Amino acid sequence: MPIAIKMPALSPTMEEGTLSKWLVKVGDKVAAGDIMAEIETDKATMEFEAVDEGTIAAISVEEGTEGVKVGTVIAMLAEEGEDVDAAASAEAKPAAEAAPEPAKSEPKADKAPTPAPAPAPAAAKAATGDRIIASPLAKRIAEQKGVDLAAVQGSGPNGRIVKADVEGAKPGAAATASAPAAAAAPAPAPSAPATAQGVGIPHEVEKLSGMRKTIARRLTESKQQIPHIYLTVDIRLDALLKLRGELNKALEPQGVKLSVNDLLIKALAKSLVAVPACNVQFAGDTLLRFKRADISVAVSIPGGLITPIVKDAGSKAVSAISTEMTDLATRAREGKLAPEEYQGGTASLSNMGMFGIKQFDAVINPPQAMIMAIGSGEKRPYVVDDALAVATVMSATGSFDHRAIDGADGAQLMKAFKELCEAPLGLVA
């Protein structure tokens, strides 16, 4: 019996994805564990492995197709000894059976005739009376170009119309006489963005990526549902910068170079352990209290932001944190992180100091209950030992979920963070 290969859920929150690339073609034999395709989620591009063995009988979704819902059949697999052509045709059977056959005899007098439902545009009939079979991508291109699929000869399996067939067709091709209903239904005109209508300002329309849609949805939910409270402290960095220089000299033979961010990750983790009232998560009528500090670190990547996690950062050496962050950030920018490497975490750290940002309020990354926003370290007038001096000072702002964390507890965390950064030997103890 043919096996339907469906779009997998590659993360707990995945609802749809982009089928970036097929690594197999019709007729190829696959075994369990073979890589079949590359699928782009909202955060990363991941490999999709076969779980059964057999022969690829049909590919239902062309590579490059966006917005493929989880559970959509993307290919058909013929089992060992099964007819490949029969397996390929199995994917069209449910749709073909969906339209009832016209009644072959007059209805009985005691029953009213049941009207046949109007066919959907994508289920137009060809001259032979068969349903037109086309890939979703081919249908979308045909709609954009104004090509009538009834006039296109399919080159795919079992006559399926694929992308190449539609791209080579002439726009406005006449429909066959047997399909006037399909030709009569005009394609809906694309609507202009509401903000651009009637304005006349030159602009480009850019389709949102899956990542940008997810960022927009999650941050909107965060600001709408989480009551934020913001607490800011100024931190003198001179001692931390001196320690960093000394550690980098000692670690040079190992090829490790610590960043200020590596030390701040350790400082936030140790502060959360020291103030456990802030290492929590609001969960409706319960509160989750975490026994370790997993720090999500904001990393800018093309098209958005991702937060790889340094797990149990409070118990790791700063050199280990540095090595781990280098690896995580590199793979994040390449789209190669596994879901468990960026989903979870007990708190977040976002550093915009490298852009010269003095201070900012970060939006909490749900379902976490706090995020630390780091500004740039800069020379400022500062009181040192009751005298005015010039010091390297950084502003740090904690955003807290006020449902889970009281202001006094948040203040304790900011105090612990400041003390660790200003007396940084505690980071290597």
Per-residue pLDDT tens digits for 347-396: 999 999 999 999 999 999 999 999 999 999 999 999 998 999 999 999 99
End-to-end CA distance of the chain: 63
CA–CA distance, 222 with 26 (Å, rounded to integer): 45
CA–CA distance, 320 with 312 (Å, rounded to integer): 11
Instruction: State the angle between helix axes of 238-251 and 318-333 in degrees (0 to 180), rounded to the nearest 10.
Output: 90
**Phi, psi angles (nearest 5°) of residue 296:** -85, 125
Q: By mean pLDDT, which of 83-97, 147-161, 283-297 is the weakest?
A: 83-97
Determine which helix (DSSP H) or strand (DSSP E) holds 414, and give its type and residue range: helix 407-422
pLDDT at 192: 47
pLDDT at 128: 40
Quick one: average pLDDT of 328-343?
Answer: 91
pLDDT at 422: 97
Strand-pairing partners, residue 426, are none
Quick one: average pLDDT of 51-68?
Answer: 88
Catalytic residues: 402
pLDDT at residue 160 greater than cutoff 50 = yes
Pairing of strands 387-401, 378-384: antiparallel
- Is the peptide bond prior to 367 cis by the omega test (within 30 degrees of 0)? yes
Quick one: average pLDDT of 256-279?
Answer: 98
Residue type, 77: L
pLDDT at residue 289 greater than cutoff 80 = yes
Residue type, 171: P
> Regarding predicted confidence, which is higher, 27 or 43?
27
**Sole residue written with tokens 């090829």:** 255
**Sole residue written with tokens 């965060």:** 222
Confidence band (pLDDT; 50, 70, 90) for 78?
Answer: confident
pLDDT at 67: 85
pLDDT at residue 35 greater than cutoff 60 = yes
C-alpha dist (Å) from residue 66 to 17, 62, 161, 170, 206: 6, 10, 18, 24, 14
Please name each of the domains of the chain with its CATH number: 3-91 (2.40.50.100), 122-184 (4.10.320.10), 211-427 (3.30.559.10)
Quick one: average pLDDT of 265-284?
Answer: 97
Angle at 414 between CA 236 and CA 294, to 5 degrees: 110
pLDDT at 171: 65
Say if residues 79 and 56 touch (Cβ distance below 8 Å).
no
What's the chain's average pLDDT? 83
Residues 126, 130, 132, 133: what is their CA dihedral angle, to the nearest 10 degrees? Answer: -160
Q: What is the Cβ-side half-sphere exposure of residue 76, based on CA atoms within 13 angstroms?
A: 20
pLDDT at residue 185 greater than cutoff 60 = no
Strand-pairing partners, residue 390, are 381
Model confidence pTM above 0.75: no
> Regarding predicted confidence, which is higher, 218 or 2?
218
Query: Which two three-digit tokens encode residue 110?
Result: 């005691």
pLDDT at 158: 58
**Sole residue written with tokens 């800011």:** 232
pLDDT at 313: 97
CA–CA distance, 395 with 381 (Å, rounded to integer): 14
Quick one: average pLDDT of 105-127?
Answer: 42
Q: By mean pLDDT, which of 80-94, 98-112, 199-213, 250-264 is the weakest?
A: 98-112
Q: What is the pLDDT of residues 117-128, one digit of tens each?
A: 444 443 333 334
Strand-pairing partners, residue 389, are 382
pLDDT at 45: 76
What is the number of helices (H) and of strands (E) in the chain? 10, 19
pLDDT at residue 177 greater than cutoff 60 = no
Confidence band (pLDDT; 50, 70, 90) for 49?
Answer: confident
